[in-house]
Amino acid sequence: DAKTTQPPSMDCAEGRAANLPCNHSTISGNEYVYWYRQIHSQGPQYIIHGLKNNETNEMASLIITEDRKSSTLILPHATLRDTAVYYCIVRPYLNTGNQFYFGTGTSLTVIP
């Protein structure tokens, strides 16, 4: 039960910003938004997470709407190595099960 909705695929030109949307209209107050990506056949890689404030790290920025029902992951200058499946996950920070529920994600293709 992924609790998120993402477009199945997107293209982005190399060097441009990639904006990946995610809908999580049923998110609860104690649930964080996490983003992971999986480059072909590799293990998922953590990107970023946030609760309600926008977050930025060396990989990406996370913009969460004020009502927290959607968010956008921004890769500011996409490179060919950013081609991957991107997963948006909502989960309580302290979850007894502590597992992440991965949906089908967005397959991002960065085009030269």
101 counts as binding other proteins under rule CB under 8 A: yes
Partner residues linked to 28 by β-bridges = none
Parallel, antiparallel or unpaired: strands 106-111 and 9-13: parallel
DSSP state of 76: T
21 counts as binding other proteins under rule CB under 8 A: no
Strand order in the sheet with 61-64: 18-23, 70-75, 61-64, 55-56
**Minimum CB distance to other proteins smaller for 27 or for 34:** 34
Query: Taking CB under 8 A as the rule, which mask of x and - marks residues 26-65 in contact with other proteins?
Result: --------x---x--xxxxxx--x----------------
9 counts as binding other proteins under rule CB under 8 A: no
97 counts as binding other proteins under rule CB under 8 A: yes
Q: Coil, strand or helix: which one is 68? A: coil
**Minimum CB distance to other proteins smaller for 17 or for 45:** 45
Report which of 17, 12, 14, 11 is spatially closest to residue 76, judged by C-alpha positions. 17
Binding region for other proteins (CB under 8 A):
2, 34, 38, 41-46, 49, 87, 92-105
